[in-house]
Amino acid sequence: MIQSNPDNRLKSFEEFWPFYVREHSHPTNRTLHFIGSTFGLVCLMVLLGTGILWFFPLGLLLGYGFAWIGHFFIERNKPASFKYPFWSFCADWKMWALILTDKMEPEIRRATEQV
C-alpha cells in the first residue's frame, strides 16, 4: 500500500506513478491519452520544422483535450494534471512510451494490486 504524507500529497514520482496508472485504468481513456499525446508531438514537430507558432497551442489543445475527454466522460475523475502538473506531464509520456511498446498492462496490474 502506498503511504502519503499527512496533508495527502504524494511526495515523489515513484509514489505518484501507481496513482496515475489507477486514474487511467480504462483502456479507452489510455487510448485517448495516446492519441492526444501523439497529435501534440506531431504539432511540436511541425512547429519546429516550419516555425508556425500556432502549432504550439494546437498541440496543447489536442493533447489535453483528448486526455480530459477521457477523464471527464470515460473515467469520470479529475485529471491528475490539476494537482500534479509536472509529474502528470512526465507520467503521460511514460504511459505513451509503455503503450507504444506494449508494456502498459503489467503496470496496470501492479498498480491495482497495490490498492
The reported pLDDT for the residue numbered 114 is: 83
Q: What is the tens place of the pLDDT at every residue in 83-100? A: 999 999 999 999 999 999
Which pTM value belongs to this model? Answer: 0.89
Q: Is the pLDDT of residue 63 over 70?
A: yes
Report how many domains make up the chain: 1
Q: Is residue 88 part of a domain?
A: yes
Q: In three state form, how does the secondary structure of the chain look?
A: CCCCCCCCCCCCHHHHHHHHHHCCCCHHHHHHHHHHHHHHHHHHHHHHHHCCCCHHHHHHHHHHHHHHHHHHHHHCCCCHHHCCHHHHHHHHHHHHHHHHCCCHHHHHHHHHHCC
Q: Is residue 6 part of a domain?
A: no
Q: Is residue 65 part of a domain?
A: yes
Q: Is residue 97 part of a domain?
A: yes
Q: Is the pLDDT of residue 51 over 80?
A: yes
